Amino acid sequence: MSGSTPTSVLELHGIEKVYGEPPHEVPVLRGIDIVVRPGEFVAIVGASGSGKSTLLNILGCLDRPTRGSYVLVGEDVARLDDQRLSHVRKTKIGFVFQSFHLVSHLTVEENVELPLFYARVPRKVRRARSAAILQRVGLGHRTTHLPNQLSGGECQRTAVARALVTEPSLLLADEPTGNLDSRTSAEIMRLFRELHQSGRTIVMITHDPGVAAVAGRRITLRDGAVAGDDASAAPQEAACSES
């Protein structure tokens, strides 16, 4: 990789995913082309069965495409072996899931520090970085709480802090508001919009049009292909204005 800043965070070209072996192949992604540039906030939407999870697994380096190329921050990752794929995943991507995936016996700050612990970052540096990012997501007052002492919104803020603590190039969220009531969901989308405004690149999978409306760009999947991409749409303020 060169030292210059890539003009795209990710580029998918002709991505296909086929499950099963001949003659029982099931084509699930049928030639997806998507380029996401630094600082974009993209929502990927589509009906159940349209291929969102399959695409998310490829974007998140959890799975490989059957055909096509995937360049993530200048590196072609479509054909990497498991070990190298796992390294890319840990260093370039921060994940946020619907069900938070917090470790129940660890405090908020310990949960946030976990990716740094695995990356062998020294304890003092870990603590300083988790404190800073927890402040950023509005949880500076909850650092020593356990997950079961938090609201759903606070759990998701903790998960967002954990996703960002490694300074990933891409924040990848899978139905991040799926387990939250509408008020908390709006609160989390406000946080996402602030992160976007501060320059983060975000790709979010959602089936909720109200949530998708917060993103600056919506890509619609239908039957494993891109059926719409409003790259030029302005983000809508209204979806988050509920108190």
Cα–Cα distance for residue pair 33/208, rounded to 1 Å: 23
Q: Rounded to the nearest whole angstrom, what is the least distance from the CB of residue 215 to Mg ion in the complex?
A: 18
* Per CB under 5 A, 53 contacts Mg ion: yes
Rounded Cα gap, residues 166 and 200, in angstroms: 13
Question: Minimum Å distance from CB 29 to ligand ADP?
Answer: 8
Q: At 71, which helix (H) or strand (E)?
A: strand 67-72
The reply on whether position 169 binds Mg ion by CB under 5 A is no
Q: What share of the chain is helix, strand, coil (3-state, %, to 5)?
A: 35, 25, 40
Q: Is 42 helix (H, G, I), strand (E, B) or coil?
A: strand
Which among ligand ADP, Mg ion, none contacts residue 46 (Cβ within 5 to 8 A by kind)? ligand ADP
Stretch that binds ligand ADP, among 50-58, 65-73, 125-133, 159-167 (CB under 6 A): 50-58
Q: How far is the CB of 174 from ligand ADP (least distance, A)?
A: 9
Of 7, 14, 33, 49, which lies in the binding site for ligand ADP, with binding defined by CB under 6 A? 49
* 80-88, long-range: CB < 8 A, 24+ apart: 85/61, 86/61, 88/61
Sorted by sequence, the CB contacts under 8 Å of residue 69 that are 6+ apart come out as 11, 12, 13, 14, 15, 76, 78
Cis peptide before 23 (omega within 30 of 0): yes
Is residue 51 involved in binding ligand ADP (CB under 6 A)?
Answer: yes
Should residue 46 be labelled a site residue for ligand ADP when binding is judged by CB under 6 A? yes
Segment contacting ligand ADP by CB under 6 A, of 20-28, 68-76, 134-142, 149-157: 20-28
Exactly one of 2, 5, 48, 104 binds ligand ADP (CB under 6 A); which one? 48
C-beta neighbour count of 211 within 10 angstroms: 26
Q: Choose among ligand ADP, Mg ion, none what residue 14 binds, the Cβ cut-off being 5 to 8 Å by kind.
A: none
In angstroms, give the least distance from the CB of 30 to Mg ion.
17
The contact set with ligand ADP (CB under 6 A) reads: 19-20, 26, 28, 46, 48-54
